Amino acid sequence: MPAADRLRLALGDGGPDMGSATLAVLAGPVGVVFAGVFGALLGSFLNVCVHRLPRGESIIRPRSRCPGCGHLIAWYDNVPLLSWLALGARCRHCRAAISVQYPLVELAVALVWAGAVAWRGPSLGALAAAVFVTLLLGMALTDAQSYLIPDLFSVGGMVVGLVFTALPGGLAWWMGPLGAALGYGLLWVVRWAGDAALRRGLIGGQELDAVLEEGEQPTTMGEGDLRMMAMVGAFLGPIGVVLTVFLGALAGTLVFLPLRLLGRRIAIPFGVFLAAGAVAALLVGEPLLAWYLRAALGR
């Protein structure tokens, strides 16, 4: 068996062949478009979650209002992508600007869902990949904007990941719990080492102090990052966790080391880089590992 096959990371190979004529249609362009439309709607909901969860607000009630004038946003002004374009990025009533982040997130999630179906066909594997990346995007956005990773994404996502991993076509059922434990534990060790460096003044600075609450201990990483990696492990299994942390740390270093050398001290939203590492592990983890084993170990 080639190394790449033995190294199947996670989320399965697309699951059992479903075969029927209906599913054959769904596997084609119709299915991809359908997934994209669903993704755009889900992206609209993700915008609500990203805005409200860090503030501790309900994501179900109340309905969305314009932050400028307080008008309830009508359904026809809330159609993903299209409304933002039709309204010229402004509120219908008060003409307050609507952030380009809203349509960008809707577009991104639409592309993720369409891409997952195009990649794996209409299958559990496609569903798992799309849910996984959507949750990662949510965590990256809240971490970047507020240094918070809501439990709904991390802990809730971990539970969903454990279910997907145990379903037919996924990894062996025990790979999810093992990956989740390893993800949490690995970051716990990284945080422990990072905090030791912080106490010695090797890293950190005023900007970090600025995001801390009164009396809060400075730390290199929040509990949210650890829970996020438990979620990644539940979806990708133990090998995927190691790859994600490696790739995420590499990306974070490549971005922040130059800033650090220029004398800027910035609090790093590590979740953003872990999300990028997890997507990379999902998409190219297997060929990357196979290549590494061949090149480095001569296997």
Query: Could you say which of 94, 100, 212, 254 contacts Zn ion (CB under 5 A)?
Result: 94
Candidates 115, 109, 117, 116; CA nearest to 136 is 109
Candidates 191, 166, 167, 190; CA nearest to 176 is 166
CB of 22 or CB of 101, closer to Zn ion: 101
Query: Could you say which of 93, 118, 255, 265 contacts Zn ion (CB under 5 A)?
Result: 93
Q: What is the DSSP string of 177-209?
A: HHHHHHHHHHHHHHHHHHHHHHHTTSS--HHHH
Residues 126 and 26: their CA atoms lie apart, in Å, by: 12
Contact positions with Zn ion (CB under 5 A) in 145-204: none
Q: How many CA atoms lie within 13 A of 217 on its CB side?
A: 10
CB of 52 or CB of 93, closer to Zn ion: 93
Q: How far is the CB of 66 from Zn ion (least distance, A)?
A: 3
x/- site string to Zn ion, residues 212 to 251, per CB under 5 A? ----------------------------------------
- Give the three-class secondary structure for 51: helix
CB of 72 or CB of 172, closer to Zn ion: 72
The reply to whether 91 sits near Zn ion by the rule CB under 5 A is: yes
Query: Could you say which of 10, 27, 40, 66 contacts Zn ion (CB under 5 A)?
Result: 66
E strand spans, the chain = none
Residues 281 and 287: their CA atoms lie apart, in Å, by: 10
Query: Could you say which of 68, 169, 177, 205 contacts Zn ion (CB under 5 A)?
Result: 68
The DSSP output letter for 59 is S
Segment contacting Zn ion by CB under 5 A, of 67-75, 78-86, 101-109, 278-286: 67-75
CB of 66 or CB of 141, closer to Zn ion: 66
CB of 14 or CB of 68, closer to Zn ion: 68
Q: How many CA atoms lie within 13 A of 194 on its CB side?
A: 16
Segment contacting Zn ion by CB under 5 A, of 73-81, 86-94, 144-152, 248-256: 86-94
Q: How far is the CB of 56 from Zn ion (least distance, A)?
A: 24
Longest dimension (CA), the chain: 66
> Quick check: 183 and 248 in contact, CB under 8 A?
no
Which positions lie near Zn ion, rule CB under 5 A? 66, 68-69, 91, 93-94, 96
